[in-house]
Chain A
Amino acid sequence: GENVEQHPSTLSVQEGDSAVIKCTYSDSASNYFPWYKQELGKRPQLIIDIRSNVGEKKDQRIAVTLNKTAKHFSLHITETQPEDSAVYFCAASIRQAGTALIFGKGTTLSVSS
């Protein structure tokens, strides 16, 4: 089955800096890669996703890139703010096959002002 590795496990940045979180996946058939954000004491929520037919997707300060050949994808947050502090999870699945969404172990991002 699918295995998702996520790095780093913790990331500390200064407000205004950029943050990058990287994930690799094992199943070359995976074609859907969402990112979820979990603030302290709250439930995970989707922030951005990408399908395998595109290499990059942006939404304001957040972008995700996908390299299918290398089987890795990354989350980029620019101009970080204290409210970006949270745990971020990447995930992968094979949508058309109806397979389960498998998450990485998460990255704890701390943005200090």
Chain B
Amino acid sequence: GAGVSQSPSNKVTEKGKDVELRCDPISGHTALYWYRQSLGQGLEFLIYFQGNSAPDKSGLPSDRFSAERTGGSVSTLTIQRTQQEDSAVYLCASSFEGRIITGELFFGEGSRLTVL
């Protein structure tokens, strides 16, 4: 596709259930980010994948959160045993980044997660 694609666009789940959020980045983009945006809050960094390097997981809020990026393309963010405070919009972004090239981040539309 032409842009970053995320699914589902909306997810309502019960507390304690696991959820998976998917991100399909722009083809050829080497970097992929996950951010979380709560109502009235900023873009909270979660995890960063860059090429074949080990991901930067420093933003994951707890061990209930994990993410994978298979084949350097599609990424899945998994939240286990969801809590109400996990309710937010989860934004994925991709960019082409190299040692010199500074890549603009292209964001997806986000996945809105509501935990009841």
Q: Which residues of A contact B (CB under 8 A)?
A: 1, 6, 32, 34, 36, 43-46, 49, 51, 89, 95-96, 98-106
Contact = CB atoms under 8 A, between A and B. Distances in A.
B47 to A, nearest CB: 8
Given A32-B102, A103-B35, A43 B42 contact: no
B51 to A, nearest CB: 8
Interface of B: prevailing SS: loop
Nearest to B47: A100
A44 B99 contact: no
A112 B44 CA distance: 29
B107 A43 contact: yes
Query: For chain B, which range describes its interface: under 10, 10 to 19, 20 to 34, or 35 or more residues?
Result: 20 to 34
The list of the 4 closest CB pairs from A to B, nearest first, reads A105-B42, A100-B48, A43-B107, A103-B43
Contacts of B110: 43
Nearest to B48: A100
Interface of B: 33, 35, 41-45, 48, 50-51, 53, 56, 58-59, 91, 97, 99-100, 102, 104-105, 107-110
Nearest to A32: B102
Contacts of B42: 6, 89, 103-106
A102 B42 CA distance: 10
B45 A100 contact: yes
A41 to B, nearest CB: 10
B107 A99 contact: no
Given A100-B59, A101-B33, A43 B108 contact: yes
